[in-house]
Amino acid sequence: MNDQSGSWCRPSGRPDLESLDSVVAGLRIPKRSLPDVPRLKLGPRAIDWGTGERIARYCKGISAMRDVLEKKEVHSRAAEDAIGRTLLYAIDCHLEQTRRDANRGDRKAATKEVRRLLSRLKKLVDAITALPSGEIGKLNKALSPLLARPFDTEVFEMLVATIAAESPGLTPAVKARRVYEAIYESLDEKFAGLRREATSDLIDGWRLIPASTRTSVERELRTGRTERSIAKWLRRLIDKLEAHPDHRRGGADPALVGRFLNRAAREWTRLGLRVGRATLSDGRARAGAFQQFCAAALFAVGEPAILSEHGIRNARSWLYKQA
């Protein structure tokens, strides 16, 4: 097999643009590509491998991958294609943790906004239910046209604004004030009497939660029964928000190396090779050709993961399930 590299394995060296000195997930990323790491699947040519140890490691890993396929007598063109795709999987595996960290940060921020909104909604429900029944009836009567409308963001904002506008006319004043302050935070005494221009924290909170959560909750409330009580309606809204998947804690992420092995195994079988383990003359297991090939790919991109026999068996089982 010839030693010529495809375009996929030519390191970019120093790009024209100034590279960032920071190291991301063990790889140096060009300045223009760094902000896109959480969203993009970067290939070898998008990465500034620098000079010295990194580039030597990258080339040594590719050479080891070629050696494995030469021993298997794989045609050079097919081998180069398989090496290129496997390297992309290895890079994706290596950078996936960076992506997941960024996504995890987004999810944490979204969950924080939902929890903040839930806290304000519960405070509003408590304040409304503390009013005398006659005053709650007055509030329900004022809100009934809005409660009868199909729910969306506009209706939510109008409901909040109407409750705030009606609350000063309710009695007793102390409890009415609590309803108002569940929508608008109380002002310092030196600002007493000034007109509020800012939007309610409730409305801001509704706008800040993930669009997928907001749209899903709106749809669920539109398909449900029509409530005549604002307290019951708010409790339904709270229940829908708490039950939404964006708010609940998700399960554990699948193993990154396991996913890489599954994808590499698919490339391996396309070459007409079998994923399995090798044995020594005395029956002891040793790293087979597939394991050596995958280890070389991970080594090339600087991924320190260790490939276990258990991981190879899982990749082989995954292939059987796909067949």
pLDDT one-digit tens code per residue, 148-191: 999 988 999 999 999 999 999 999 999 999 999 899 876 555 54
Domain closes at, from 243, 269, 302: 243
**Tally of CB atoms within 10 A around 132:** 12
pLDDT one-digit tens code per residue, 99-141: 665 666 666 777 888 889 999 999 999 999 999 999 999 999 9
In a domain, 45, yes or no: yes
pLDDT one-digit tens code per residue, 199-241: 788 888 898 888 778 888 988 898 877 889 999 999 999 999 9
Domain residues for 286?
7-104+256-322
By C-alpha distance, which of 145, 201, 138, 143 is closest to 175?
A: 138
pLDDT one-digit tens code per residue, 4-29: 444 444 444 332 223 323 333 344 44
Identify residue 275 by its one-letter amino acid code.
V
Q: Where are the alpha helices (DSSP H) in 72-200?
A: 76-129, 133-147, 153-166, 173-183
Considering the domain architecture, whether residues 31 and 88 belong to the same structural domain is answered as: yes
Considering the domain architecture, whether residues 65 and 114 belong to the same structural domain is answered as: no
Considering the domain architecture, whether residues 277 and 233 belong to the same structural domain is answered as: no
Considering the domain architecture, whether residues 136 and 219 belong to the same structural domain is answered as: yes
By C-alpha distance, which of 252, 244, 267, 264 is closest to 315?
A: 264
Whether a cis peptide bond, with omega within 30° of 0, leads into 44 is no
Considering the domain architecture, whether residues 239 and 174 belong to the same structural domain is answered as: yes
Considering the domain architecture, whether residues 69 and 119 belong to the same structural domain is answered as: no
Going by the DSSP 8-state scheme, the letter that residue 31 receives in this structure is T
Domains identified in the chain, total number? 2
Non-local CB neighbours of 166 within 8 Å, separated by 6+ positions: 138, 139, 142, 143
Q: How confident is the model at residue 90 (pLDDT cuts 50, 70, 90)?
A: confident
pLDDT one-digit tens code per residue, 36-72: 544 444 555 555 555 567 778 888 899 999 999 999 9
SS3 234: helix
In a domain, 203, yes or no: yes
Angle at 216 between CA 214 and CA 218, to 5 degrees: 70
34 or 145: which leads in pLDDT: 145
pTM: 0.48
Non-local CB neighbours of 31 within 8 Å, separated by 6+ positions: 17, 18, 19, 20
